[in-house]
Structure 1
């Protein structure tokens, strides 16, 4: 490949002055990279030229092609962005700068680094999506020339290609690039498996080529007889997709490859549906295998009719689409720059931009970069379902999506306040999986809030990040409240209150602890990351010596206990080992990042925790607590019919409810029943146990605490 060959190709769709701009960019890059070589020994300029050639296959504009030729100039030669701006204009300079920043991203094996870098990629795409097109072409050529690299580096590059770059190309609808990246990545990761599948495909193609050609001829003849102009072409299955199907379906190669693929391309949408009727008259369609992606396009803009036909010897997968749909299917987002007057290409651009915008919204809501990449990966390869709002609007959601995902797809506020839903006008739980064609109505209530349990069934990145963001917000509010109570209690033990501490002293302590404000300090205390008595003594120390712990007020040896007035929240939890209830003597243990865990004072687990005595907080129960608490009972009873029903009925009569019950056989005459039940305190528990002891079948009864 030379610049003149590339220029001749570009002349088929670009103006002469645009071709000249690309040619100038080549000579500029050639001079800048003079004396530089690739690991293969080739001159370095061959790489940017090959990248530009990939983008020429997609028929991208001259700015993008110039940026492809110059994409390594800033990083590898020291030429500044301003120089490129002066020579080729701001648009090309911004593209080159964006690609240079992405090139600096090295996806490491550490998930945290990979996630952080993916966020940078999302930002780059939001500014100009052509940046990622150049990066994808750059990655494609690097994958084609992996040979000289060491095996471990080949595998690392292949892994990030399969995890990130190929899915992005697919999500942007660039089928030609995504499939080649997948096959090259698969070959680099599993060379022997790729070799086996490639050889098996070659043999199978030879065995059945006559059958496929006969089916293809019958298609062409029937279409001619009906006066429909169309071309029928065979469609190769890709190695990576064959391997993935074998792995996911746990099927043999023969089972996967007994389906052959044909594509019919015509001039109009009407002809697509006429052709569908023709092929269904030739061969029987397999039930449940027809999909209309023309009426309901995929999330990446892909449009086509899919049907699977049954033949006595083979099954045939058929795709039917227009020429324009075919171009958009192969080029995806890249088609926008070539076919600017095309509605399909314009819609594809809008869909891609919408996806990038949603990624940025996820980034803003997600404080943890690992959560961000988890959410994005969910959305990269969705198998779509299509559901309707009550007003008839169609929403695309990934397969397995629930009404919670639907609610957040409409608006974040709708999701946050959802309490129930109607599916096809019937009440349904928010956790049920939706199916294509259903009409979903979300029932909301002012003041309702997302629940922890939603994370168990929310599927989309937007829903999961919104729920997590809201739960995190609630956790920080509760942490501030607990932190205030803990700090105030520590100050009261020293004879002071937080309100009596001067703003100057608070500012000094905040600076010493590298905290941005009082709220942040209270959050840190509430989450167990800082000890309240240490912060209290810092607040009371001499102003110009924060490190010295010199209390100004009278110290008290007997610390007052903190009041506990209700059930758990996100930063105040009850230990699962001893399950304390109102009336039990209790003590709090500050656990870093988790807040305060409340244990019964006689809990065996406390012995292990005594290595950090400063983390303990004395507690006592408030009065008139009406919340319910979980307690566990161990009941030994005679083995006879109806014993479980009798125990359960007695617990209900004592105004308690059962959360879980487990029965174990002790011997031929007795069983052991473990019951988790809800009580309001020790007095309520005593009433329940008294009623159970009156049962003749019960031989022994005790409260059970795990150690």
Structure 2
């Protein structure tokens, strides 16, 4: 191992335990504030030997956490040891309200995340997530600069994103978390589990604080966990919050649930024994996992089904069966076998494999009538889907490729005047929770907030999506849907998906479906579509796409993106992997302006041009508006010259104009090349503005030398 790569504070594995204990033993038996160890709320004194006994067990747990990264990632294991060592040092002598040493909290958060497959960066942030808020180093508060020096900028950024200093308002607190999460989604992952672990010690808080914290957990953190697919965290947060928000109902449901589990466990086990052999015929590796609904989940079920008394609950309200088969295709075969054994509810088995849930979860969902039990929920997944069911994006933060919903949430949190907690909750729920959309045929489905009509159509399958026809107007496809709206979906075989539809999509599933279709086209179609799409943006730059892609400016731009040829870049545009609406603004802001700054140090020179056309109103104003107002050129010559020719009652005119360009074409730099082409484009637009003029046989335009300009001006003088 290259020692230069080992983080500061790293200790060899064999010395890790003894080094931590050695550092702790040689500290004064005082808290970081200089007072004897005690827990304020309970006034329980903790002796140094008791404290070190706790630290002993935590060190062993931290070593086990580090070993989970070996042998695949020994450097990651080193960083885990270093992170725990630093966290233990900064939280030395600090206690939680429960009476436990404070270090157990970040350690427990890190363990929870690692158990669900979190990477090294997430675990390190979890171990150190309270250092900036509560950590003391050498008698002073730990700072971002200190943490960056010890663990690196990425970790310092992540920890700062989770940190809550002082007592910010609810909107300021969540605005900060969201802002940081846009750049690193691990901030939200750590914050969710941080909140979950804190909820478990809520009984030590005052009653009013319990309710406030529980409301936040139920209205913010549980929906966030659901949005990221982390159903384990969502359900546990809901139960912990519900316990304090409605303790009477919580106890009633918990008691009834326990009774029903006890009375029906034999019957559900028999059902499992009946199902398993049948499913093993198609997949010897099939697993059946019995699962009980959580307390708040049962409460929601009661609300939805209008069950007024817990005594009306049945075992069917408690149990569900998860079938895990070895691959995706066997999910559908397993569904067929389950339906052969038990009569299904034909109106309720949605395919969430081909049409994933808004949070990305995939499964087959069906209710079947089981004799002596009732309607039993069966969900079918493959191992990858089952892992996502429990962990969401924890094991793979890169799955959260689309952060636009976080950007929209941050914008609304900061732009709206939110003064009370309920207003903040409403805004966050609006962006986090899925919306329900109804079809004109009586169906309903859920999709993400911000979904467009085209996003929603994807839920009904690829064919409906690729041949979508809504109100016979393509613009209607980009309309964002509101919760509870009704959607009319029609298709037409002569309508096929277009590259421009990409601008109307906000959900990854719809985007990927469109990209897959675009990839299936021929190379000629892909390049043609790319040029057409690029042309819409380049025309605002006063350059047609066919002209722009031949310029040195464009070639420099695509080279800066790592493309070796124009064709390679256009192919990426044509298959939808590069958003075409960003190309010209990005090229203008990042490349062209840089070249302009270089060109400003050079001299200006006039560039002369002419337009031969028929006299008509607004020709001069259109030229001056485009050249001066839109592009900012300085005109040095502007003169109409009448030649004496007449066509269909209109006089022929040669409009001579000159603009100052950088080096005026003498030095063929990128800026002057673009500016000359822009002048040419404007001349073409002015000529083609009036359809009647196009029929004039002598129509034309072109560049002029100074001598040619002088000759035309002389002609103007003679004809007066």
In the alignment, which of 361, 366, 380 is matched to residue 320 of structure 1?
Answer: 380
Q: Please give the alpha-carbon distance, in whole angstroms, between the structure 1 residues aligned to 2:283 and 2:120.
A: 40
Distance 1:285 1:143, change over 3 A: same
Task: State the SS of the aligned residue for 2:242.
Answer: helix
Say which is worse superposed, 256-265 or 326-335, in terms of deviation: 256-265
Q: Is the 8 A contact 2:224 2:432 kept in 1?
A: yes
1:186 corresponds in structure 2 to 242
2:113 corresponds in structure 1 to 55
Q: Is the 8 A contact 1:174 1:331 kept in 2?
A: yes
1:64 corresponds in structure 2 to 122
1:66-145 equivalences under 5 Å are 66-76=124-134, 77=136, 78-101=141-164, 104=166, 113-145=169-201
1:378 corresponds in structure 2 to 430
Q: Please give the alpha-carbon distance, in whole angstroms, between the structure 2 residues aligned to 1:194 and 1:309.
A: 29
Q: Please give the alpha-carbon distance, in whole angstroms, between the structure 2 residues aligned to 1:401 and 1:256.
A: 37
- Give 1:216 deviation, angstroms: 0.7
Task: State the SS of the aligned residue for 1:334.
Answer: coil
Task: State the SS of the aligned residue for 1:263.
Answer: strand
Distance 1:384 1:272, change over 3 A: farther
Q: Is the 8 A contact 1:421 1:440 kept in 2?
A: no
2:95 corresponds to 1:37: yes
- Give 1:62 deviation, angstroms: 1.8
Distance 1:402 1:85, change over 3 A: closer
- Give 1:40 deviation, angstroms: 2.0
Distance 1:439 1:367, change over 3 A: farther
- Give 1:249 deviation, angstroms: 3.1
1:204 corresponds in structure 2 to 260
Q: Is the 8 A contact 1:404 1:431 kept in 2?
A: no
List gaps (5 residues or longer) in structure 1.
107-112, 338-345, 389-394, 410-419, 442-459, 461-707
TM-score under structure 1 normalisation? 0.52
- Give 1:225 deviation, angstroms: 2.8
1:241 corresponds in structure 2 to 297
2:353 corresponds to 1:301: no
Q: Deviations over 1:345-394 (max 9, x none)?
A: x5x4225x343234245457656677775343123222555989xxxxxx
- Give 1:310 deviation, angstroms: 0.7
- Give 1:17 deviation, angstroms: 2.2
Distance 1:54 1:401, change over 3 A: closer
In the alignment, which of 24, 31, 49 is matched to residue 82 of structure 2?
Answer: 24
Q: Deviations over 1:285-322 (max 9, x none)?
A: 01211011100111111110000001222211001011
- Give 1:204 deviation, angstroms: 0.7
Distance 1:280 1:47, change over 3 A: same
List gaps (5 residues or longer) in structure 2.
1-56, 460-469, 493-506, 508-720
1:148 corresponds in structure 2 to 204
Q: Please give the alpha-carbon distance, in whole angstroms, between the structure 1 residues aligned to 2:355 and 2:182.
A: 26
- Give 1:223 deviation, angstroms: 1.3
1:156-555 equivalences under 5 Å are 156-251=212-307, 252-253=309-310, 254-255=312-313, 257-259=315-317, 260-313=319-372, 314-337=374-397, 348-351=399-402, 353-360=403-410, 362-363=412-413, 366=416, 374-382=426-434, 397=447, 421=471, 438-439=489-490
2:542 corresponds in structure 1 to none
- Give 1:90 deviation, angstroms: 1.0
Q: Please give the alpha-carbon distance, in whole angstroms, between the structure 1 residues aligned to 2:240 and 2:292.
A: 15
Q: Is the 8 A contact 2:261 2:315 kept in 1?
A: no
Q: Is the 8 A contact 1:95 1:131 kept in 2?
A: yes
- Give 1:227 deviation, angstroms: 4.2
2:104 corresponds to 1:46: yes
Distance 1:249 1:127, change over 3 A: same
Distance 1:436 1:292, change over 3 A: farther
Q: Please give the alpha-carbon distance, in whole angstroms, between the structure 2 residues aligned to 1:379 and 1:161.
A: 16
- Give 1:30 deviation, angstroms: 1.3
Distance 1:87 1:326, change over 3 A: same
Task: State the SS of the aligned residue for 1:335.
Answer: coil
Q: Is the 8 A contact 1:32 1:73 kept in 2?
A: yes
Q: Is the 8 A contact 1:423 1:440 kept in 2?
A: no
Task: State the SS of the aligned residue for 1:333.
Answer: coil
Q: Please give the alpha-carbon distance, in whole angstroms, between the structure 2 residues aligned to 1:79 and 1:335.
A: 29
Distance 1:402 1:173, change over 3 A: closer
Q: Please give the alpha-carbon distance, in whole angstroms, between the structure 1 residues aligned to 2:439 and 2:69.
A: 40
- Give 1:159 deviation, angstroms: 1.1
Q: Please give the alpha-carbon distance, in whole angstroms, between the structure 2 residues aligned to 1:121 and 1:80.
A: 18
- Give 1:176 deviation, angstroms: 1.1
Q: Please give the alpha-carbon distance, in whole angstroms, between the structure 2 residues aligned to 1:186 and 1:324.
A: 31
Q: Please give the alpha-carbon distance, in whole angstroms, between the structure 2 residues aligned to 1:423 and 1:245.
A: 40
- Give 1:104 deviation, angstroms: 4.9
- Give 1:13 deviation, angstroms: 4.2
Q: Which structure has more helix as a fraction of its residues?
A: 2
Q: Please give the alpha-carbon distance, in whole angstroms, between the structure 1 residues aligned to 2:392 and 2:336.
A: 28
Q: Please give the alpha-carbon distance, in whole angstroms, between the structure 2 residues aligned to 1:256 and 1:361.
A: 45
Give the length in aligned residue pairs: 407
